[in-house]
Structures are given as structure tokens and as C-alpha cells.
Structure 1
Amino acid sequence: MCMSRVILHIDMNSFYASVEAAFDPSLKGLPLAIAGNPEERKGIVVTCSYEARAFGVKTTMPVWEAKKLCPNLIVKKPRFDRYRKASKAMFAILSSYTPIVEPVSIDEGYMDVTDVARHPLDLAKEIQQRLLDELELPSSIGIAPNKFLAKTASDMKKPLGITVLRKRDIKEKLWPLDVEEMHGVGAKTAEKLKKIGIRTIGDLARGNDVQLEKIIGINGLRLKEKANGIDHRPVDPSSVYDFKSVGNQMTLPEDATNEEELKNALKSLAKSVSLRLKKKEAVATKVAVMLRYKDRTTVTKSMKLENPTDDERTIFQHALIVFQKLWKNEPVRLLGITGQDVMHKKNAFKQLDLFTFEEEAKNEPLHQAIEKLSEKYGEGIIKKGLSMHKEIDSFGSSFGKDFFFK
């Protein structure tokens, strides 16, 4: 029997800028941007207040360009300790209502409130007001029967919005939207979909399974399910611990001493690690290499990266440097590469100057990555106050049964 759930998605509005305004009330109502190297005017805007957005200031925009649009723009460097403290306080409030809280970033999380004996709208209003009263932080909240729809709902009204998205509302509210507006569909995927005539979310919901799987793989079928309002993923508090490293290793067909052969093996491993990081929407801040020699002696060494990455070439280049320091020209039996100190892309912050930004923008979809980063920073920092839970097996409130489901 299908379980009726009531899920809230809480999304803090302009989190970094809002935290700064909470610490310094004189900043409230003013155009504010958080960026690296603001004094040099070469930093990239990572996030900005809604007052700044009204002038056309956007994430990934160079500070000099933002100041051209908004001469009175206030630019501050990020204060990560301050943001982490605010995040912990935010999740403490959420966890006071239910232990079934899943942090997905520093300012974003899901709550399964199926068994909370409150009307979900009243509950959402109370949570939103507490975040304002106790932390002086605005939020938007989505209410829906699953995670995908709750996330979609929270994006519909910002700032300070509360939106209910029921399954029966999908055709009217979701299907007319451009497919690129769907959570989980990036610019490149949208481009592929449009080549086969899928321009709206409704087109995707009615898409041909074989065709979708052919152009974007198994993810095409998952996206079609979500476009139809289907998402069976549970709210999982333990998912915050899912990964700290992503690696791969290979035992060579024969013990190898040929440097080119070993380099090719490293390239293959770097590609595998890169793909796994991208699948997890994660980046590594260190690259480690493991060598196992013919006599089974195993050695490892790591190297810190200048910037977090999921890029295959960058991983290979650093792995090669580490390998060359480790290798003693002895026969190698096994090779491994591991991306260490892994974080969600949303937690990655790069103090890019304009030239670095332009160069990296050519090599990877940086705009998309930082645009996401600007709204939801980080993953894995909330480690207290979250308990393991049994899967909910009740139907919860009549609101959950009658309001959400067909």
C-alpha cells in the first residue's frame, strides 16, 4: 500500500547575505553581495541580497560589473564560521519538531512531518516565523507529498514564501514550465531534450521511455517520473554522512614498470573518480594516490588542491604529481586514486579573480555550479541533533491523505 507522506523543504533566502544582515542590522534593506577579493574588484559574486538582485546583480558576476549596475553595492568577504553557526541554529529549530530532518546543504533541508500532529500549513508558518524571530533569517518553505515536489514548491515563492504543491496541481503548475526550470535539469540536459521536441516539463512527463534513456541514460527515466510527481526517496537524516571520500582502484593485468602504461592507468582512474564525483554532485579538496608494489607493500600520499574540483584533467594532473613522488621505479601491482575531504558542490567556494573565472568558464559549466553554490552552501556540517529513524508506516494526518493525494 502506498504510504502518504507530508514533506517540508526549508530553503533559507540569500543565506550568506541574510546572516550578515542579522549580525549587522545596518545592512538590512541594503544591496549586499558576498564575494571573494572585493577590495580588488576582481572577485566573483557568490550570493547577494534581494535588494542587490533588483539592480540586476547576479551570482557569478564579477564584482566590478556588479558595482557598475549597483554603485552603492556593499561587498563583503564570506565568513564561514559565522554561517556554520547560523546553520546549526537553523537545524536545531527544525529538529525540535521531528528527528526526521535531512540536511542537504548549509541552508537547506527536508523534514518528514507525516507523524507531527499539526496541520502542515500551520507548522510551516510557525517554523518560518521562528527562523525570523530567533535568528532573523528569512526562508521559503515547500509543502508536498515527496521531496521533489517539496523542493520545487519552495522555489516558487521567494523570499518568505510558503507554497503547497499537490499531485493534482502538477498539470496546471508544473507542466507548462520550460523543462530547464525543473529541478535536476541543467542547461546541457535541457539542450538534449529540446532536440527531441521536449520543451516543457509536460513534454518530459509524456516523453518516450526508450528515447529518453537513449539520449540521457537512466536519469532520463528518473526525470520523467519526477515530472509526473513521482519520487519515492525517503527523508534520510543519515545521508549527511554518506561520503567523505570518493575513490577507485585497479589491479593491473601484469606488474607494471612502464611509465606510460602507469600514466594511462591513472588517466582511467581519474576519469572514474571524476564521473563518480559528478554523479554525487560533489567535489574533492584533496587527491590521494595509492601504490601497491609486487611484494604487496602499499604506500599512499595525498595532495591538497588549490580549489575543490570534480574535473577529470585536474584530478589526473595532481594524481600524476603525487604518483611521481611516490613511485620508486619498482613493479606496480595496483593503483588507486581517491578524492578526499569531499564536499557537495554547494559547499565549494572559490576566490576566483576575473581571469581565472573566464578560463574556468570555458572548461566546465562553472556558471551552473556556482549558481547552485550561491543558494545552498555546503553539506555534511550538521552532525548533532539528528537521530536515526524507522521508516514511517502510518498515513499521518487526514490533511496528508486528502489534501495531497488524488
Structure 2
Amino acid sequence: MRKPETIERLYLDFDGFFASVEQQCDKSLRGRPVGVVPFAGTDRTAVIACSKEAKAFGVKNVMKIKDAKALCPDIILVPQKPDLYRRAHNALLSEIESVISIDTAKSIDELTCILDDTGRNHPESLAQTIKQTIHQNIGPYITCSIGFAANRQLAKMACKAGKDATKKTANYGNGLAIWHPHMMPKPFFDVKLGDVPGIGDSMRMRLAHCFITTTEQLYNIQPKHMRKIWKSVNGERLWYALHGYDIQAQPQKRGMYGHTRVLPPEARSITGAYEIARLLLVKSGRRLRRDEFYAGGLWLYLSLKDGSWFHNLALPSVNDEQAILTVHRQLWALAKRQLPRNVTIYNVGVTLHSLSEANARQLDIFNNDDVIRQKWEKANGAMDSLNAKYSSTIVHMGEYKPPTGGHVGGKISYVRIPSAEDFY
């Protein structure tokens, strides 16, 4: 396993991305505290992103609106615009590509690059060029932080460290941190355990049971010990990454297609939630067909005022809307029987799982891919082609009435960057 002797990776993270895009596009928001919310007209949701001006008052991402207003009474709440953020993401990547080749876009606001000789020898200059290119060609209100290190995991942590305005050393400051291998592991020891990629709340508790509460303690255990704590090889892989080895991310197979959505107040009944869940499932089915997959099961999740409800039903390896929506109706019939009539539903989620690729599809012996199923698949193919041709939902099964706030199925997630097709 190779251990680089110099920095080889750049990790870039846009600062307060959603809020900064809003400020760049709307002059009235510039210099003012901004909070991006799921939709307008209610204080019963959360601020999903906030500007640096709002953060100065103590507002944080994923904070209840009432708590954000208590900290910053003048905060301006702006409904999210996922398609705008997608287009800003694409524009920013184009500008960065003019400076350095992008290896992977990790999310809507994060990316990583492999450094060439110039980047390894002159990281400060490279970072300055990227920032200037964005400033000049996109605008001054979208800024970024950049980290350099021997591998992607360390560069990601360096990137976050570079956001700390109190660090003004030769290797920190102005949204920049450079962790040369000869400096390690001291910069890593300054990182909080919860800020290490792959360590969430549950893993931090598991580490605490092993008397590991700092990154220095984590660094000094053995790789096999890490593997035992993680209960998988991922723990050992993380150990090598933290020690500066060149660890490449393993290729991941698609496991599901799904969407979730916080419901607007007027849709928090069983009837209202059903209609939105149906539209989310239509969008999931379109993505399933675009990527040439079939699903063997459908999962429905409901977040309730007091708890949650979820259930799963099997599908006979299908991807057409008629089959998928039939099982969806069966799930909701079950929910209606089991839930109180006046139940309040805050969030719905639908997931198509147990996937098989088109060339590896396992057919149900009793279903046998009958003639009716084939006709529905051809009908869906024709509808998808028409919608793609006109970049709009012009043909659909049943009613198509997106709820307040729109963007059904076009939500920005932490693991997937939506495509243009998700917004029609």
C-alpha cells in the first residue's frame, strides 16, 4: 500500500452553498442574514442552510425556524430552489475545470481533485486561482474553502479546518488549509472526533465505550482494532487513510431509488400525504427506467406526530408505473387501516429496492413477464420519451399536481446530485 510523500489531493467545499447562491442571484439578500427553508408560509420546519451573516448570530444548518428566529430576529427566510442550486453547481464545476480537472463531485457543494506537479508544488497559488476564477466569472458571493493533503479523507478534514478564521498560520487562513505529510499527525490531533468522516453519533458512542474520545487516541490504536470496532473492513481502511496512505473509495452499486419530502401543512393528512407520495414514486420510477433497472420491492415510510409508520411489499421485478402504483395503493390501504383517521403526517418517503439490471432481471415464474406487463412498459417508455423531448411532464398517469413548493423528486440530497430530468 502506497504512502504519498507529498500532498496529492485537493478537497473543495462551497461555503453556505444554498444561501450564498441565493445572495449571488438576489441583490436584496446580500450582506443580510439568510436562512433557506423547505417552503414558505410556515414556521414548523427547519432552516436547512444559512448564510455567514446568520451564522454570526449562532444560527446553524438544520435548526428549527423558531430557534433561528430567537437567535436572529431579522433572518430572511427564503424557500429552497433546488433547480437553481443544481444549475449553479454545474456552472461552478465548469469554471473549476478550466483550472484543474475534477476527479469526483462528492455532493452538490463538495468536490475533490487529483493534483499534478504544479498543484503539489504550489498549492497556495492553485487555491488562489480557483477562488479568483469563481469570483470573476460567477460572482463574489459564492466562496469556497479548500484543503490539501496526501489523500482525500485528510484533505476533506483539512478543508473544514481551513474554514476556521481563528487559524492564521502559514498553512491556514482565508478558507485554505494545507496538511503536508511531514506535518502529520499534529494537525489531525486538533480535529474533533465527530469531525472525522465516517464517525457519526453512534460510532462516537461506540468509540467512547472503548475509551477512545480524541483523534489522537484513535490514531494510536492498531488497524485490526479499528476493524473490530467498526465490525467491518471499513474501520481498517479508515485507519490507513488517517495515517496518510493512498486509500481509494470502493465502487458502490446502486441499491435503491427513492425520494422523501417534508409535507406542507395543508398536505399532512392521509389523503394529502398519499398524493405527494404517489408523485414521489412516479419520479423514482422514471429514474429507475432511465438507468435501466427493475425493482423487486417498494418501501413506504411515514413520519408521524407521535412516532412513525413503515411497511414493505414485494414487486415482481418491474419498472412500469402501473405495477409500481398498484403496490403503492396497497401500502396506503394498509396504512389507512392501521393509522388513526385524523393522524398528522409530517414526512413521506418511498423507496424502490431489491434492484436488478435489465440484462440480469430475474422474472417471477408465475408472472412470466406477461403481454399486459410488456404493453405497460412500452407505454411508459413512450411517455418518458415525450417528457424528455419537451423537458416537461406533458404525459402522465393520473393527476399530476405538484404540492406547495414544487420540486417533487428534485430535492438536493447529501448523496446524489439531481439531474435536469428530476425537475419536470
Q: Give yes or no for TM over 0.5.
A: yes
Unaligned 5+ residue runs, structure 1? 248-284, 289-298, 327-335, 341-350, 352-372, 384-406
Partner of 1:142: 147
Partner of 1:224: 239
Greater relative contact order structure (CA < 8 Å, 6+ sep): 1
Q: Summarize the alignment of residues 7-406 of structure 1 with structure 2, pairs less than 5 Å apart.
A: 7-116=9-118, 119-136=122-139, 137-158=142-163, 160-217=174-231, 218-233=233-248, 245-246=255-256, 286=284, 316-317=311-312, 319=314, 325=327, 337-338=353-354, 377=414, 379-381=416-418
**Distance in 1 of aligned mates of 2:325 and 2:40:** 37
Paired residues of 2:295 and 2:353 also in contact (CA < 8 A): no
Structure 2 letter corresponding to 1:208: Q
- CA drift of 1:80 comes to 1.2
Paired residues of 1:287 and 1:338 also in contact (CA < 8 A): no
Structure 2 letter corresponding to 1:338: S
Taking a change above 3 Å as real, the CA distance of residues 163 and 382 of structure 1, as seen in their structure-2 partners, is farther
**Distance in 1 of aligned mates of 2:327 and 2:92:** 45
Paired residues of 1:6 and 1:113 also in contact (CA < 8 A): yes
- CA drift of 1:316 comes to 4.5
CA RMSD of aligned residues (A): 4.1
SS of aligned partner of 1:42: coil
Q: Which moved more, 1:191-200 or 1:203-212?
A: 203-212
SS of aligned partner of 1:225: helix
Taking a change above 3 Å as real, the CA distance of residues 74 and 147 of structure 1, as seen in their structure-2 partners, is same
**Distance in 2 of aligned mates of 1:23 and 1:37:** 18
Structure 2 letter corresponding to 1:229: G
Paired residues of 2:297 and 2:313 also in contact (CA < 8 A): no
**Distance in 2 of aligned mates of 1:54 and 1:323:** 47
**Distance in 1 of aligned mates of 2:82 and 2:300:** 19
* TM-score in terms of structure 1 length: 0.61
Taking a change above 3 Å as real, the CA distance of residues 304 and 193 of structure 1, as seen in their structure-2 partners, is closer
Structure 1 letter corresponding to 2:149: A
Paired residues of 1:31 and 1:48 also in contact (CA < 8 A): yes
SS of aligned partner of 1:9: strand
SS of aligned partner of 2:246: coil
- CA drift of 1:319 comes to 4.8
**Distance in 2 of aligned mates of 1:10 and 1:324:** 44
Give the number of equivalent residue pairs: 291
Taking a change above 3 Å as real, the CA distance of residues 198 and 82 of structure 1, as seen in their structure-2 partners, is same
SS of aligned partner of 1:233: coil
**Distance in 2 of aligned mates of 1:6 and 1:215:** 29
Paired residues of 2:13 and 2:109 also in contact (CA < 8 A): yes
Taking a change above 3 Å as real, the CA distance of residues 74 and 110 of structure 1, as seen in their structure-2 partners, is same
Structure 2 letter corresponding to 1:317: N
Taking a change above 3 Å as real, the CA distance of residues 226 and 26 of structure 1, as seen in their structure-2 partners, is same
- CA drift of 1:26 comes to 2.3
SS of aligned partner of 1:99: coil
Unaligned 5+ residue runs, structure 2? 166-173, 258-282, 287-293, 316-322, 329-351, 357-402, 404-410
Taking a change above 3 Å as real, the CA distance of residues 24 and 378 of structure 1, as seen in their structure-2 partners, is farther
Structure 2 letter corresponding to 1:166: H
Taking a change above 3 Å as real, the CA distance of residues 32 and 322 of structure 1, as seen in their structure-2 partners, is same
Paired residues of 1:287 and 1:302 also in contact (CA < 8 A): no
SS of aligned partner of 1:221: helix
**Distance in 2 of aligned mates of 1:322 and 1:233:** 37
Structure 2 letter corresponding to 1:224: W
SS of aligned partner of 1:155: helix
- CA drift of 1:84 comes to 1.0
Structure 1 letter corresponding to 2:31: G
- CA drift of 1:122 comes to 0.5
Partner of 2:385: none
**Distance in 1 of aligned mates of 2:224 and 2:415:** 36
SS of aligned partner of 1:86: helix
**Distance in 1 of aligned mates of 2:179 and 2:217:** 19
SS of aligned partner of 1:16: helix
CA distances 1:34-54 after superposition (whole Å, capped 9, x unpaired): 012342111211110111112
**Distance in 2 of aligned mates of 1:233 and 1:82:** 32
- CA drift of 1:221 comes to 1.5
- CA drift of 1:156 comes to 0.8
- CA drift of 1:323 comes to 10
Taking a change above 3 Å as real, the CA distance of residues 41 and 124 of structure 1, as seen in their structure-2 partners, is same
SS of aligned partner of 2:354: strand
- CA drift of 1:245 comes to 4.7
**Distance in 1 of aligned mates of 2:302 and 2:284:** 9
Paired residues of 1:125 and 1:162 also in contact (CA < 8 A): no
- CA drift of 1:232 comes to 2.3
Paired residues of 2:147 and 2:158 also in contact (CA < 8 A): yes
Taking a change above 3 Å as real, the CA distance of residues 324 and 86 of structure 1, as seen in their structure-2 partners, is closer
Structure 1 letter corresponding to 2:146: I
Taking a change above 3 Å as real, the CA distance of residues 244 and 183 of structure 1, as seen in their structure-2 partners, is closer
Identity %: 27
